[in-house]
Amino acid sequence: MSTTTQSKTGMKKLAFGMPTPDEIASGGVHGLSTRPKVPPDLMSKLNAAELEEVEDIELPTEPMTINMGPSHPATHGTVRIVLTIDGETVRDSDVQVGYLHRCFEKEAEHATYTQVFPYTDRLNYVSPLLNNVGFALAVEKLIGIVDRLPERAQYIRVIVGEISRITDHLTCLGASAMEVGGFTPFLWMIKVREWLWELLEELTGARLTHSYVRIGGVSQDLPEHFIDKLRATLHKSTSVLTECESLLVKNRIFRDRMDGVAAISAEDAIGLGWTGPCLRSTGVPYDVRKDHPYLVYDRFEFDVPVGSVGDNYDRFAVRLEEIRQSMRILDQAMTQIPAGPVLLDDPRVAMPAKNAVYNTIESMIGHFKLIIDGIKVPAGEVYSYTEGGNGELGFYIVSDGTGRPYRCHVRSPSFIATQSMSKLILGAGIADIIPTFGMINMIGGECDR
């Protein structure tokens, strides 16, 4: 594999018998795994030759074309899959996206940089704050103020981002449990998400679409006792997570449904452009937070969980472990967070104080221009990338020197992961489509934009 990354500090043996990246690097990627590389059952992925072989044994059948979606009950986003099935085996599939194309990129061209934040909230609407942070960092990089961001703001961004990542993974894991028929763990995870949302609501004023991050910092400081409440919430969340784990990870039926289904090799995954938990499930320890640290991520100690087989179960397990790692980061961030301002002190970027706006013409003009014309971003272009809920979330922005982006493109990880759906479900059963889709975690808002 060509994309070896820097060695990680403090690697530990991760849960569920997964090898650490060190072990992978030392050679036996699959040998170390306690789980077989090629699943023994027939329904999961077969290659073309094997399929032919099966055809030879069985009576000839006529393939049936059947349409799944776009309003199928359990797909995360709205997607249409045209299946050619033989019995219950998928012989061919055509995954069609675009049912939630809301013209994010076009809308962004008509909005000032600050006004784009609400739209980013609705990209990956499961972890809005990560999108907020990603977009803010891109614009800040273009303006050239990344180095001047207040430290406290950076820590707050890490904290809200990691909370968001936890809610993202919780939703994904819960939904995947529901998709294989386990409704109860789903609601338990939603319950935990609810706790975290309440915290975020206290901080940002909104439950889901926060628009909390601003260019140059965040909109407001942490409320009183936020840290204590977060600590307590994380504590009780851990016990619920353990419960969920006992219902799923140790459940034979669940393991049977997930193990070895829709497996993909690291090479293929990289070739398809996968990032995030999906890529890590194949054993590649690539995490933007670790490999290209932004904000203050280089100050935290955390591990990058990886899988070995690259199947649905690995994707599930990686996400589950990432929740724990996010909690670790939160723990450290809560300890390290310094006092100070949360917004950059620069009148060209930050809004003046309300009192000054009402009483001096200078601040009035500043406020007016920032609202109507937007923050003037120097002409140029930038690509900035962060670790989103589903992988590398990139923003490519072209500025023409005005207050609105001339072009704003999103490299949305779930769009890139979705392109491999056809490949993953080839040869699988109908019953495997939805769990596979769930573990790819295609989010309509992000995929179709």
Partner 1 sequence: MTDSILMFLAEHTAVAALLKLVLLVLGFVMPLASLSTWAERRQSAMMQDRLGPNRANIGPVKLWGILHFVADAIKMMFKEDVVPAKVDRFLFALAPVMAIAPVLITFAVVPFGPDLCVGQVLSVVTDPTTCKATIPLQVARMDVGMLFYFALASLAVYGTTLAGWASYNKWSLLGGLRASSQMMSYEVCMGLSLMGAFLVYGSLEPNAIVTAQGSNILNWGIFTQPLAFVLFFTAAIAETKRAPFDLPEGEPELIGYFVEYSGMRFGIFFLAEFIETIFLAAIVTTVFLGGWQVPGLDSSGFGSFHLPHLAVVLLQVVVWSLKILLLCWLQLLIRWTLPRFRPDQLMRLGWKQLLPLSLLNIIITAAVVLWRSGGK
Partner 2 sequence: MAESYTTRLDDALNWARKYSLFTYPFVTACCGMEYMATAGSKYDIARFGAEFPRFSPRQADLLFVVGTITERQAPVLHRIWMQMAEPKYVIAFGVCASTGGFYQNYNTVPGCDQVVPVDVYIPGCPPRPEQVLDGLILLQKKIAEATTWVQRRDRKEVELAAQSTDGRKRLPVVA
Partner 3 sequence: MAETPPSPIKSSIAAALRETATPPSPPPAAPPAAASAAPAGSAPSSAPPPSELVTIKLDGRDVQAKKGANLLEVCLANGVDVSYFCYHPGLSSPAVCRQCLVEVVGQPKLVPACFTPIADKMEVNTATPRVLSIRRQILEFTLVNHPVDCPICDKAGECTLQKQYQDWDHEGSRSSIPKVHKPKMQDLGPHIVLDAERCILCTRCIRVCDEVAGEKQLTMAWRGDREQLTVAPGHKLDNPYSINTVDVCPVGALTSKDFRFTMRAWELFTTPSVCPGCATGCNVEVHHAQGEIWRLVPRENLQVNKYWMCDEGRFTYKDVRHKRLTSARIGGGRGQPAQITSLDKAVTFAAERLEKLASSGASIGLVYSAQTTNEALFALSQVAQKLIARGANIRSYVTGTASKPERADKILRSADTNPNTAGATLFAGAGASDAGALLADLKAGKLKGLWMVGADLPLAEQALADTAPIVDGLELFICQAVSDSALLRRAHVQLPAAAWAEVDGSFTNNKNLVQRLRKSVAPQGDARSHLELISQIAKKANLASGEKWQVSARQAFLQMVSVVSSSLPVGADPAQVVAAGFASAEWGKEFLPVQLRFANSRG
Residues at the contact surface with partner 3, assessed by CB under 8 A? 143-145, 346-349, 352, 356, 358-366, 368-369, 372-373, 376-379, 400-404, 406
Are the C-beta atoms of 325 and 333 separated by less than 8 Å?
A: no
Beta bridge partners of 253: none
Are the C-beta atoms of 323 and 241 separated by less than 8 Å?
A: yes
The set of residues, in sequence order, having a beta carbon less than 8 Å from that of 88 and lying 6+ positions away, is 43, 429, 430, 431
| Candidate residues 263, 344, 434, 439; the one interacting with partner 1 per rule CB under 8 A | 434
**Is position 430 an interface residue for partner 1 (rule: CB under 8 A)?**
yes
Q: Report the C-alpha gap between 172 and 160 in whole angstroms.
A: 18
Nearer to partner 3, 301 or 362 (CB): 362
Provide the edge-to-edge strand list for the sheet that holds 89-96: 64-68, 80-86, 89-96
- Between 120 and 159, how does the x/- string for binding to partner 2 read (CB under 8 A)? -xx--xx---------------------------------
| Candidate residues 11, 46, 51, 190; the one interacting with partner 2 per rule CB under 8 A | 190
| Candidate residues 187, 232, 365, 371; the one interacting with partner 1 per rule CB under 8 A | 187
- Give kind and range of the element (H or E) at residue 378: none
Nearer to partner 3, 52 or 373 (CB): 373
Residue 398 phi/psi, 5-degree rounding, is: -110, 130
**Is position 431 an interface residue for partner 1 (rule: CB under 8 A)?**
yes
CB of 141 to partner 3, least distance (A): 13
Residues 87-116 that bind partner 2 (CB under 8 A): 98-103, 106-107
| Candidate residues 170, 178, 264, 397; the one interacting with partner 1 per rule CB under 8 A | 178
| Candidate residues 10, 60, 73, 338; the one interacting with partner 1 per rule CB under 8 A | 73
H runs (alpha helix) in 29-150: 48-57, 104-109, 116-121, 128-143
From 102-110, 112-120, 355-363, 427-435, give the range in contact with partner 1 by CB under 8 A: 427-435
- Give kind and range of the element (H or E) at residue 89: strand 89-96
| Candidate residues 43, 156, 304, 334; the one interacting with partner 1 per rule CB under 8 A | 43
Q: Which of 407, 384, 400, 380 is nearest to 116 (CA)?
A: 407
| Candidate residues 69, 182, 260, 307; the one interacting with partner 1 per rule CB under 8 A | 182
The total number of residues shown for the chain amounts to 449
Direct distance between the N- and C-terminal alpha carbons of the chain, in angstroms, rounded to an integer: 32
Cα dihedral 313, 316, 320, 323 in deg (nearest 10): 150
**Is position 236 an interface residue for partner 1 (rule: CB under 8 A)?**
no
- Between 159 and 188, how does the x/- string for binding to partner 2 read (CB under 8 A)? ------------x---------------xx
Q: Which long-range contacts (CB under 8 A, 24 or more apart) does 223-227 make?
A: 226/199, 226/202, 227/334, 227/337
CB of 121 to partner 3, least distance (A): 23
Nearer to partner 1, 240 or 270 (CB): 240
- Give kind and range of the element (H or E) at residue 197: helix 183-204
- If phi > 0 it is left, if psi is from -120 to 50 it is alpha, else beta; for residue 10 that is left
| Token pair of 372 as six digits | 């109507």
CB of 107 to partner 3, least distance (A): 14
Which partner, partner 1, partner 2, partner 3, none, binds residue 98 by CB below 5 to 8 Å per kind?
Answer: partner 2
The binding site for partner 1 (CB under 8 A) comprises: 41-43, 64, 66, 73-74, 88, 177-184, 187-188, 191, 247-248, 251, 253-254, 256-257, 429-434
The binding site for partner 2 (CB under 8 A) comprises: 70-71, 73-74, 77-78, 98-103, 106-107, 118-119, 121-122, 125-126, 171, 187-188, 190-191, 193-194, 197, 207-209, 444-445
